[in-house]
Amino acid sequence: MRNVLLAILCITFPMFLFSQNQLIMSENFAIVIHGGAGTILKKNMTDEQEKAYQEKLQEALDSGYTILKDGGSAIDAIEKAIVVMEDSPLFNAGKGAVYTNAGTNELDASIMDGKTLNAGAVSGVRNVKNPIKLARVVIEKSEHVMLSGKGAEDFAKQYKIEMVDSAYFYNEHRLKQLNKIKDSEKIQLDHSDNDDEQGDITELKDSKFGTVGAVALDKHGNLAAATSTGGMTNKKFGRIGDSPIIGAGTYANNATCAVSCTGHGEFFIRNVVAYDVAALMEYKNLSLVDAANYAVNEKLVKLGGDGGLIAIDKDGNIAMPFNTKGMYRAYKKANGESKILIFKN
């Protein structure tokens, strides 16, 4: 009898351990966010400014993390985190969007669900308070992936997305940035990294890359990615960058990873950066960290493209590489491990 009990124990105890492990696996959730990459240097930032960014990143991170912790979906978590950043004037997205050459604000956003590969994107919207919410509704209610301009706004009105007057985006600091750039085409075209450059120029370069993004893995094993931006200060001709382009600025696939990019969009489009990280993992068997590093610090650098990305894989591994001076970035894992970073190192 004792032998039988012992035998039962020998069989059930490993099963118990295994089921516990399964439980731990399904608790392997995490969220990563960014607030843009660029020439972000400590010497050009006051303690108050640094604190303001840290607090807003913390708020965005926590808002998404809470959803994940409560068993919510990755796509809900990243949408919420991005809304927090869109509603802040600190980032070049939503409320803080930079000005176009014409003095308007034209916003882009995209979101992708790694479970279904469904995606939604909008470009050039002027009166949508939260472009990421509109991109989400494109997934839910449209047979299309990408809507643009006035058409996208008509779609937004049809689905009762909150619209705002263009005065909502009024921002003296951003207007100053535009006027400076308007006076000197040279500054707009200058993408060189120079530690000695003055604060004004740094500001411009910073604002140019102030896109926000979020990626997450939820308890159900689903990945999602999203990106939102006000584009480039002084942009002309209805320019569309990488942020609303699935594959370039945003990509998610449960089989590999979720990625959101920030940087000089043209280079991210030409290198199809977000999808490239997934392809390097799936086809070349690189780890998430190696794939993300290769895309940002090898391929983008070779082409001359400034920027960075955040990524998370199906196992909860995280990567946040960038080839600029700094990148507003933060993550929080299921085990409580969390970091908020701005500068290099």
Question: Catalytic amino acids?
Answer: 211
Shortest separation between residue 180's beta carbon and a second copy, angstroms: 18
CB 93 within 8 A of CB 211: yes
Q: Is 269 in the site for a second copy (CB under 8 A)?
A: yes
Shortest Cβ 323–a second copy spacing (Å)? 17
C-beta closer to a second copy: residue 235 or 333: 235
From 55-63, 90-98, 242-250, 330-338, give the range in contact with a second copy by CB under 8 A: 242-250
Contact code string over 303-342 relative to a second copy, x by CB under 8 A: x---------------------------------------
Residue 25 as a binder of a second copy (CB under 8 A): the answer is no
> Considering only CA atoms, which of 340, 328, 249 is closest in space to residue 295?
249
Does 284 bind a second copy (CB under 8 A)? Our answer is yes
- Cβ nearer to a second copy, comparing 44 with 256: 256
Could you tell me the two tokens for 188?
Answer: 């707009």
- Residue 152 is a binding residue for a second copy (CB under 8 A): yes
Residue (144 or 176) nearer to a second copy, CB: 144
Q: Show the site string, 178-207: x = touches a second copy by CB under 8 A, - = not.
A: -----------x------------------
The reply on whether position 149 binds a second copy by CB under 8 A is yes
Say how many C-beta atoms besides its own lie within 10 A of residue 203's C-beta.
18
Q: Interface with a second copy by CB under 8 A: which range of 3-11, 35-43, 53-61, 148-156?
A: 148-156
Cβ–Cβ < 8 Å for 277, 292? yes
> Is 143 an interacting residue with respect to a second copy (CB under 8 A)?
yes
CA atoms within 13 A on the CB side of 150: 0
Stretch that binds a second copy, among 7-15, 76-84, 110-118, 170-178 (CB under 8 A): 110-118
Q: At what angle do helices 131-141 and 149-158 cross, to 10 degrees?
A: 70
Separation in Å, CA 242 to CA 31, 227, 272, 336: 22, 9, 9, 32
Q: Which is nearer to a second copy, 89 or 149 (CB)?
A: 149
Q: Which is nearer to a second copy, 50 or 266 (CB)?
A: 266
Contacts of residue 145, Cβ cutoff 8 Å, sequence gap at least 6: 119, 120, 121, 138, 246
Please report where in the chains the tokens 């009762």 appear, as a residue. Answer: 160
Q: What is the three-class DSSP state of 121?
A: strand
Question: Taking CB under 8 A as the rule, does residue 272 contact a second copy?
Answer: yes
Residue 245 binds to a second copy (criterion: CB under 8 A):
yes
CB of 188 to a second copy, least distance (A): 8
CB 236 within 8 A of CB 100: yes
Distance, in Å, from the CA atom of 272 to the CA atom of 278, rounded to the nearest integer, reads: 11
**Angle, CA 233 vertex, CA 57 and CA 78 arms, to 5°:** 30
279 binds a second copy (CB under 8 A): yes
Tokens of 177: 């940035």
Residue appearing with tokens 């491990």: 337
Q: Which two tokens stand for residue 11?
A: 């069989």
Q: Which parts of this chain interact with a second copy (CB under 8 A)?
A: 112, 117-119, 123-124, 142-152, 154-155, 189, 235-241, 245-248, 251, 265-266, 269-272, 275-276, 279-280, 283-284, 303
